[in-house]
Structure 1
Amino acid sequence: MSSQSPNPKPQVQPCRYKTGKVLGAGSYSVVKECVHIDTGRYYAAKVINKRLMAGREHMVRNEIAVLKRVSMGHQNILTLVDYFETMNNLYLVTDLALGGELFDRICRKGSYYESDAAELIRSTLSAVAYLHDHGIVHRDLKPENLLFRTPEDNADLLIADFGLSRIMDEEQFHVLTTTCGTPGYMAPEIFKKTGHGKPVDVWAIGVITYFLLCGYTPFDRDTNLEEMQAILAADYKFEPADYWQDVSNNARDFIRKCLTIDPTKRLTAHQALQHPFLSEDKEETQADLLPVVKKNFNARRTLHAAIDTIRAINKLREGGVMDGALSIAPETQKDTPAPQNETNTGLWRKPTGGLMKQ
């Protein structure tokens, strides 16, 4: 009989990274810039607060499993470089995407054409097809999860945030029944809880395409209930007409075929890549879409910020807990201990599965 303990103590290792400025924050985590002490290379560290994630640790394990399977396999997918944990936090070290979010980049451009939107969707769909070929469904595709690798004009667009992704068995379809994602980008079958799979990512691509061509989402409504009802019925229009007058029929047809209620009749990612909207050369006399897109985007961002504030105030008055869906970052910052303090101790615990090689 072995004298070894069934639960050996985690291996303690010296710190390999030094963290820097905050790049972003979420409900359970904060993303910080970090540098590898030995190589001097810069990365992004997703710092996940263990206490806030109590009972949800499987989400982190799942994200690591997904990223390990697809990292370095496609130029448009964020690469997982390392992962480890300390007493208080879990760390996922990834590529450092310094080019910013998709729509912020568009709004800073001097001009923006349908061909630009098509190129962005082509890059995203190429990565989605790669994920699907490897049995992975992302489940949370939206502009906020699309980042540019560098500030250069020709920088790669990267799919990030695989926290809601799932690894699926071969061609099993009715596998996932958990409601997840961001409401405006969720497919009808997610709300119905009848089972969903890879087609939900293509639906999200349809919503993103619509958004990239006009600056607002097709199912944008005053309440979550109205939004869900619109999604279930695929109730959207290419209106107002003056916002869509410079958008081609091919682009509209692409959106329609992505926003098909029946997932079995929806385009697959590979089929979508062959659609004329993405595969044909654009006319050289395209109109600049930037003025309309930028105006609509800024107007809706202001409106939704006001709505979120009102909802937050109402929740506080009711004595309820703040909804994680609201954009209130300070509580995250307060609850997430700065890893810099732990770095100074020089002690890092090695998680089950070990450290990934550089």
Structure 2
Amino acid sequence: MRSQQDWRIIDTEETALLSHHYQIADIIEKGPICTVYRAIHRNTSKTYTIKSIDVRKYNLAAGLSEKDIHKEVEICASLTHPFLCQLRDVIEGPNVVHMIFDYVEGSDICFEVVKRAGSGFVYSEAVASHYIRQLIEALQYMHSKNIVHRDIRPHNLLLSSKDNNASLKLRGSSIAIRLDTPDQKCPPGRVGIPHFMAPEVVANQDYDFQADMWSVGVLMYLLLSGKLPFTGSKEHVYECITEGKYSLHGSPWCYLSDAAKDLLTRLLTVDPKARFTAEQCLKHIWLADKTVPSRKHLNETVENIRQYNQRRKLKSNIIATVNNARWNKFPVYSFLSADSMPGGDACDSDCTQRGPEVSTSEDMVGVESVLSSLDQMAVLFDRSLVMDAATDDELQKALNDREFHEILLTNETLFEHIFSLLLPYKEIEPKLFGGWGRMDLE
């Protein structure tokens, strides 16, 4: 049960006006610089989602200014599409900006997949194709208006209702950018979540709408397999992205259709000029209206997504705790973000990298080290990765990381469990165990 203070929003003239029209029901998300509420309109009793941005904290955060808020409002106000969260009103002042959106009843797509599968709903290639098509239609519309979303990830993809046929809703335009012409490029800079960044973004090159299409490929990989194509330390993730190094071998890829894998490879193409556009994707056989992909339930994929969600929940809870006002006083430029955290996404607002990478403050280094090691632990727990030659170097790096060794050695139970999983492969892949020094595997 939340205390009354947890429910309190910024006490300003803007908030007084908001409260005159809306009754705040509860908190959906709470980040260090903005909070998302569910609210009821007092006259119509209709439910809305309200994103309240603390302008003072926003201006103090690294890489952000009040102009960015105005850009977000302008972009959201200009977009009207059935697969986009619709902005209905804005109450703005010098202290806080309240953005009022249509309320979306469903949660983010990965949580909905697991929840619905647990209730007997069949999750198949056909379902994944349905969602991907809706996402690409939304992006085609945004790109036609010269807008690059720049933050495609599960957290920003919601289902509109609890119904089984609920449509997808794309949100998260806080770092979207409008280009002056279709030929203009976005300025260099790593923006977004590392695991979903396009190679040209990682390489600090100019980029355009095609960066969004790469992110769609990462999301498609996740929805089909339940795993991210690029995992490990942030440096290793960046390296694999720039080289376009990912695996389509082993389970569940062995029983997924060739059509799905063909579209995936055309999206996860390093050269943005050769990468499929939104228009090209919508003509692909896997997304064509007359084509119905397999309706066979993807049980292994659902289980993988469930584990992915658990890591996201853990990360989100840790980020929320560290960012608590009791721990993190002004200025807020040091708040912990998700840009180097495990899983490539967070169930929390304000976790997207928006500009040049900032070095972690001294009091946060220990927290970040532990959190970053979770991805490496996930690699060791994943039996399929051990047997996959394409990810051999990923496992090798995890096994040879001395800092990671020290973290494991402080937790003997976890250490023993990991090696109970790895020991069966010692005879098959002995080279993987060459860097463990004093750690005895016998």
Output the TM-score relative to the length of structure 1.
0.80
Aligned partner (choices 300, 303, 307) of residue 299 of structure 1: 307
Structure with higher RCO (Cα < 8 A, 6+ apart): 1
Point out where structure 1 has 5 or more consecutive residues left out of the alignment. Answer: 1-9, 333-358
Aligned partner (choices 63, 68, 71) of residue 72 of structure 2: 63
Aligned partner (choices 74, 85, 105) of residue 81 of structure 2: 74
In structure 2, give the amino acid aligned to 1:216: K
In structure 2, give the amino acid aligned to 1:225: E
Structure 1 residue 97 and structure 2 residue 104: aligned? yes
Secondary structure, in 3 states, of the residue corresponding to 1:20? strand
Structure 1 residue 51 and structure 2 residue 56: aligned? yes
In structure 2, the partner of 1:4 is none
Point out the more displaced range, 28-37 or 74-83. Answer: 28-37
Alpha-carbon deviation of 1:296? 1.6
Cα-to-partner distance string for 1:230-281 (whole Å, 9 max, x where unaligned): 1000110113x12212210110010100011111111110111111111152
Aligned partner (choices 164, 171, 175) of residue 175 of structure 2: 164
Distance change (3 Å), C-alpha of 1:125 and 1:330: closer
Identity %: 25
Structure 1 residue 256 and structure 2 residue 265: aligned? yes
Secondary structure, in 3 states, of the residue corresponding to 1:261? coil
Structure 1 residue 180 and structure 2 residue 191: aligned? yes
Distance in 2 separating the partners of 1:34 and 1:20: 5
Alpha-carbon deviation of 1:49? 1.3
Q: Is the contact made by 2:126 and 2:292 (CA closer than 8 Å) also made in structure 1?
A: yes
Distance in 2 separating the partners of 1:328 and 1:238: 27
Secondary structure, in 3 states, of the residue corresponding to 1:22? strand
More helix by share: 2
Structure 1 residue 135 and structure 2 residue 142: aligned? no
Q: Is the contact made by 1:210 and 1:255 (CA closer than 8 Å) also made in structure 2?
A: yes
In structure 1, the partner of 2:23 is 18
Alpha-carbon deviation of 1:85? 2.8
Secondary structure, in 3 states, of the residue corresponding to 1:51? helix
In structure 2, give the amino acid aligned to 1:297: I
Distance change (3 Å), C-alpha of 1:28 and 1:297: same
Alpha-carbon deviation of 1:321? 4.1
Alpha-carbon deviation of 1:50? 1.8
Distance in 1 separating the partners of 2:15 and 2:155: 36
In structure 1, the partner of 2:291 is 281
- What does 1:145-156 align with in structure 2 at a 5 Å threshold? 145-156=156-167
Distance change (3 Å), C-alpha of 1:274 and 1:22: same
Structure 1 residue 85 and structure 2 residue 92: aligned? yes
In structure 2, the partner of 1:233 is 243
Distance in 2 separating the partners of 1:33 and 1:12: 15
In structure 1, the partner of 2:337 is 324
Q: CA RMSD in A?
A: 3.2
Structure 1 residue 194 and structure 2 residue 205: aligned? yes
- What does 1:306-321 align with in structure 2 at a 5 Å threshold? 321=334
Cα-to-partner distance string for 1:114-155 (whole Å, 9 max, x where unaligned): 010000000110010000011111000111101112111122
Alpha-carbon deviation of 1:307? 7.4
In structure 2, the partner of 1:36 is 41
Distance change (3 Å), C-alpha of 1:307 and 1:45: closer
Distance in 2 separating the partners of 1:76 and 1:102: 13
Distance in 2 separating the partners of 1:154 and 1:229: 39
Point out where structure 2 has 5 or more consecutive residues left out of the alignment. Answer: 1-12, 324-332, 352-442
Alpha-carbon deviation of 1:107? 0.6
Alpha-carbon deviation of 1:310? 8.9
Distance change (3 Å), C-alpha of 1:312 and 1:112: closer
Aligned residue pairs: how many? 316
Cα-to-partner distance string for 1:61-101 (whole Å, 9 max, x where unaligned): 1111111111xx21001110111135642111001001111
Secondary structure, in 3 states, of the residue corresponding to 1:107? helix
In structure 1, give the amino acid aligned to 2:238: M
Q: Is the contact made by 1:147 and 1:157 (CA closer than 8 Å) also made in structure 2?
A: yes
Aligned partner (choices 77, 90, 107) of residue 114 of structure 2: 107
Q: Is the contact made by 1:176 and 1:197 (CA closer than 8 Å) also made in structure 2?
A: no
Alpha-carbon deviation of 1:297? 2.2
Distance in 1 separating the partners of 2:303 and 2:254: 16
Point out the more displaced range, 187-196 or 18-27. Answer: 18-27
Q: Is the contact made by 1:80 and 1:93 (CA closer than 8 Å) also made in structure 2?
A: yes
Distance in 1 separating the partners of 2:347 and 2:167: 30
Point out the more displaced range, 100-109 or 123-132. Answer: 100-109
Structure 1 residue 116 and structure 2 residue 116: aligned? no
Q: Is the contact made by 2:31 and 2:349 (CA closer than 8 Å) also made in structure 1?
A: no
Q: Is the contact made by 2:52 and 2:98 (CA closer than 8 Å) also made in structure 1?
A: yes
Structure 1 residue 243 and structure 2 residue 268: aligned? no
Structure 1 residue 213 and structure 2 residue 224: aligned? yes
Q: Is the contact made by 1:27 and 1:324 (CA closer than 8 Å) also made in structure 2?
A: no
